[in-house]
Each structure stands twice: as C-alpha cells, then as structure tokens.
Amino acid sequence: MAQTQLLEVPVKGMDCAECALHVQHAIEKLPGVESVNVLLSSEKAIIRLDPARVDVPAIRKAVESAGYSVPDAVTPPSASTVRFSRRITTLLAVVFSVVLSIVVAGEWLGMFDHLNALIPLPIGIALVIAGGFPVFRNVMRATLRRQITSHTLMTVGAIAALTVGEWVAAAIVVAFMRIGDYVERFTTESARRAVKELTAMAPQTARVERDGVEAEIPIAAVRIGDTVIVRPGEKIPVDGEVIAGHATIDQSAITGESMPVDVGVGSRVFAATLAKLGSLRIKTLRVGEDTTFGRVIKMVEEAETHRADVQRLADRFSAYYLPVVAGIAALTFLISRNPLATAAVLVVACSCSFALATPVAMLASIGASARRGVLIKGGRYLEALARADVVLVDKTGTLTLGRPQITDVVALNGMSSSDVLALAASAERYSEHPLAEAVRAAARAHNLSLFEPEYFEAIPGMGVRAKVNGNLVAVGSRRLAPAIESSLPIAEQLEAQGKTLLFVAIDGEPAAILAAADTLRPEAPAALAELRNLGVRRIELLTGDNERTAAALAEALGVQYRANLLPEDKIEVVREYQARGHTVVMIGDGVNDAPALAQANVGVAMGAAGADIAIEAAHIALMREDWALIPDVVRVARRTMGVVRMNLAFTAVYNLVGLTLAALGVLPPTLAAAAQSLPDLGILANSARLLRQR
C-alpha cells in the first residue's frame, strides 16, 4: 500500500475565492494527489499525496499553468507590512472615488463620444489591448482550461464595445477591471490581516547556549533539549520549562489575558510570550509549529477548511451565477438588439462578491478572537454556535477549579480540630490523591506542624493508613473507618451541601469528619445567567459525582443536572439532544470530556493553553480558564452571522439592481464597469467591524 504524505505549498497571486478554486482544480488533476485544500487566507495549499507519483516541481507547474506562482521561500509578514496594506486600502478607496467621479462626469457631459471621434479606432484598440493585457492573458488561459471567470464576461463586454466602435467604453471597462483586481486583492488582504498579525508575533531567532557558548540562531535550528536564554524585554522563542531565573511574563499572545504572570524554576512557558521583567534559562520542549503558539497559528490558518453551510451555499451559487448572467446578456441582445446594453450586463455582474461575502467575515472574527485567546477551528462552528440552544457543562475543572479544599473539620470524641487535622495531614503526607493535597493545604493554612509517618500504606479506592507519632491513623472512605457510623447524621448534612467526606479514625476510634468541596469558578454563575439572556433554552450539568453533590451545585446555579456519569454516558446525552433537533454546545476541560466535545455540534475546551488533547478535541478552545469568554464568543458568533447575512443580502440586491439597469440600457458599460467593483468595498467595510469587536 502506498504511503501518503501531507505537504504544504505556498501559492502567490490568489486574490479571491475564485482564484483558490482554480488552484485547487489544477492540483487535483495531478496523478497521485488524494486531496487538496487551498487556503486563501494564508496563501497556501495543503496537499495529501503519494510522493512516489507526484512531487513539488509537478505541483509548481500545475499552479503556474493556472496563472499563479509557487515561491521558493515565504517571508513572515511584519507589523509594518500589515499597517502598510491598511494605508494602501484607504488610498485605493480614495483613488477609486476620484476615478469614478471623472467617469460619471465624462459620461454625463458626453466627453467620451468626442474622444471616440477624435482618436482612430485602431489606436483605441491598441490602447485597450495594452492596458488589459494581463487580464486578457489570464482569461485566455482560463478559457483554454474550459473555465469561465467574472473577467471572462467583462472581457466579452469589452470586445462587444470595441465591435461597435466604442473603444473608450472598452478602455474604461479594462481600467475598472484592473482597479477591481486591486480592490479584490486588498479586500482579501484585509481578511488575511488577523492571520498575518498573529504570524508576525512569532519570534524568528533564539539565543541558545551550547557547550558554554551563547549564540543567536534561527528558530529552525533550535533543537529539543537546548537551553534558551531570554533577557528582559525579549520574546520567549520556544515552549519549555524554566530551569533558572525568575521573570514576569506577558502571556497575552497565548491567553489573551493582559495581566502578567510570575514564573520561576519549574514553570512552563510558551513561545511568543514576552519577558517583561527578569531573565530566564529555559529547557526547550517544543519548537516552531509544535509550540502552543504555532498550533494556534495553524488552527487559525486552517479554519478556512471548515466552511460554514452558508459559505458552501454561496460557493454553489457562484458556480451557477456566471452562466445565468451570460443567459441574461443573450436575452438582452435578442430583445433590444443593443450591443452596449448587452456589454453592460456582462460587465456589471460581480460573482467574486458572493464568494467573498462569507470568508472575509469569518476570517475577521476567527483572527480577532485568536488574539483574545479564543481559538475557533472554522466558520462551521461559528455558524453552529450562533444558533445553539442547548449547553451541556462538565463540572470538575470546568464549572469548578478542580482543586478541592477542606471546608469543615468536625472533631469527635473530645479531640481538638487542630490536633486531628495535623495527624490526618501527616498520614496523607505521601499520598498523591487530590483530596490528600487538600488536607495538607488545610494544615499549612493553619500553620500546623506535621509528623513524619513511621509507616504508610495507600489502599486504592479507600484511603490511607499510617503510623503517626505512635498512633495508627486511617483517613479515607467509610469502608476504611466503619467505626464512625454513629456520626452519619452529620455526614448526611454535609453531603447534602454537595461536599465530599473523608473519615478519620485514630487507633480504631472515630476522630473526625473532614468535608471537602471543589470551589466554583467565581465568574461562572454570571456567565450562565448571560447565556440564558442570549436565548439558550437549556443548560445542563453533566458530572461523574454522586447525586447529592450534583444536586447541590445544580440548585445553586439554577440548572438541570445528571450525576454518576461516565465519559461514554456524556456522549449519549449529547446524541439524545441532537436526535431531538437541538444544536448542542458541550463545555469541558478537554481531557476526560474529549469524546463528548467531539460529538457535540460545538465542543468548547476551557483553559487549553499547552494542552494538546484540549486543542485537538474541541472545536473552540479557550486559552485561559475564564467563563466570561463563553457568552462573549456566543455574541461574536451571532454578530458574525449577522454580518455574513448582511453581506450576502447587499451583494444580491446590488447585483439584481445592476443587472436590471444594465439590461434596460440605463447603465452604460462605463458606469457598469465602475459599479462592478463597489460590492467588494462594501463587504470589506462591513466585515472590518468584526476586527474591532470586543
């Protein structure tokens, strides 16, 4: 069986969704190519192929035959490049407005008729061919490949104008074709902006110490295990573990959180974060694309492959739109016998605006969200989130902090709470159970001195036994300390509050009941209330905890609940709601909830920074543990879909009006050419609002 390989190939020259489709078709025809995804936003093709049958030179030749190019190397964009493209976009809009005003005035004053009479037709034809040569060449190539583009129709319109001797009209059509190309290019560039801003944040070099010598080397040359040195004000270039030093780190590039964090020996640090104060020596664990930041960029780039249903609908519409326009043009000529009206119909049709209406908005939201620490894998999940009506929530590590704390110490038989807590913490000294750490933390909080156990035994599923200061101490479940049966009324009262109990026996006699509770995230209740205000009809808690614990937490939050669930049970709950026609959001920590996250229409993982399974399993990953992000991302999804619908409606109405006016002879070819470029600017202006949302 042939071994397949995944290859990424940069592609230059793509300005619209139509361009990406042409590149995809060209590569798909190569023998040995299994699948192709062409990403307009990041200007590359992701190809699964058989390396024994197809190679990069063959792919390069196919891309070039489609009218595009494969560069030998890709230079990462800088922030200044991004700002430059913004200034050019503004300048382009001004130039377009001035040219449009001149064309309108010239048409109204009849200046173009005088120009037609003044300059001989052969010279006019030569001017049109010279000015439109790049466009005509691409149209000819597309025609030889049996492809029809929007430029094909406009070229036919220009030829129709030349046929009746209106070379000025043809020249203006060509001029606006060229201007339209630049408008589309910078509209697409605006959509790419968020991705490029992210990419520009990635460090390109690292200061590495090898054999006692420091050297600054390219990121590609850094190896796992290398010692990287980071000085104040420098970006951390790798994911790794601090082995020396202390610093204050700005992690906003990963988590979106502006508050800095302090790190020291043993702390995990991430690439693209900034060391504001202090110096660090870091043992490299991950480099380049394997770092958390590298995975963030890759997710944002590849989000384009997970297209929303509305985007696929627009793509299908675009495929049928051009033949329909050609039919309208033919009908116009048959009825009116007016070649200029026919040319105007061909020229005014704008298919690219339909193709751009959805991806420009989606990419703007996905890129802007990534800068705030919210990774969205594609427009499909934004669209699903916008219509979600059921939210299922995991408990431990999601609604709660996942770190139990001792809330009650009930001493029995005349013992003091301090004495019994000191003995229990000493017995738990070498246990790795989370509840054991809670007991030790409680002892530290009361400044209690612990004893060294003379004997220690961990009993799976029950607790621990240890000999401490001459006493045999047992800490664990009821089965480990059956002598505490007489205390059950107190135990039931504590369990009714949703707390987990540890029973302590000393020398076989009941000594204490310790109650532990996982702390609820303080922002969770307000976030759940906000989800209800946003129209989520049902919120349900799914947990493996016992009935009493689940009921207490659910009552406090005002939500439904299901208790004693295994991971496979959570999947069945998701499927149950989906079978009833609901759009389900599952929120978990991305570890034991991974199957349910993958099954849900939208799986949201909390605190995914550095956690591979969370990033892989979820459709949306929150890089920091902040429930306030949940209603925020729902609002982003709904606002994005509102912008998409507005883009599509504007484009449909604009084209309908333009085609009608052109067919009736009201819109001459010169103004039709100008009108053809306006929808792209409208889509750009409308979608740009999503880059600024908070």
Active site residues: 394
- Residue where the block lists tokens 């302590």: 504
Q: What value, to the nearest 5°, has the Cα angle with vertex 689 and ends 687 and 694?
A: 130
C-beta of residue 176 within 8 angstroms of C-beta of residue 677: yes
Greatest C-alpha distance within the chain:
116
Q: What value, to the nearest 5°, has the Cα angle with vertex 55 and ends 53 and 58?
A: 100
If one counts every other C-beta atom within 10 angstroms of the C-beta of residue 264, the result is 12
**Alpha carbon distance 640, 385 (integer Å):** 11
The three-class DSSP label of residue 65 is helix
Token code pair at residue 162: 């030349």
Q: Which of 642, 691, 637 is nearest to 196 (CA)?
A: 691
The three-class DSSP label of residue 88 is helix
| Type of residue at 365 | S
**Alpha carbon distance 55, 76 (integer Å):** 25
Long-range contacts of 320-326, Cβ-Cβ distance < 8 Å, separation of 24 or more: 321/349, 321/351, 321/354, 322/148, 322/149, 322/150, 322/152, 322/153, 322/349, 322/351, 323/148, 325/153, 325/349, 325/351, 325/659, 326/148, 326/153
String of DSSP letters for 624-689: S--TTHHHHHHHHHHHHHHHHHHHHHHHHHHHHHHHHHHHTT-S-HHHHHHHHHHHHHHHHHHHGG
Compute CA distances 53 → 8, 58, 163, 241, 384, whole Å.
17, 10, 48, 43, 39
Q: How many helices (H) and strands (E) would you count in the chain?
A: 23, 25
**Alpha carbon distance 35, 6 (integer Å):** 9
Q: What value, to the nearest 5°, has the Cα angle with vertex 256 and ends 251 and 261?
A: 30
Give buried/exposed letters for 321-349 (b at 16+ CB in 10 A, else e): bbeebbebbeebbeeeeebbbbbbbbbbb
Counting beta carbons within 10 angstroms of the beta carbon of residue 151, is it exposed (0 to 12), middle (13 to 18) or buried (19 or more)? buried
**Alpha carbon distance 141, 62 (integer Å):** 12
CA atoms within 13 A on the CB side of 684: 24
Q: Which of 560, 556, 476 is nearest to 519 (CA)?
A: 556
C-beta of residue 346 within 8 angstroms of C-beta of residue 676: no
Token code pair at residue 25: 């078709």
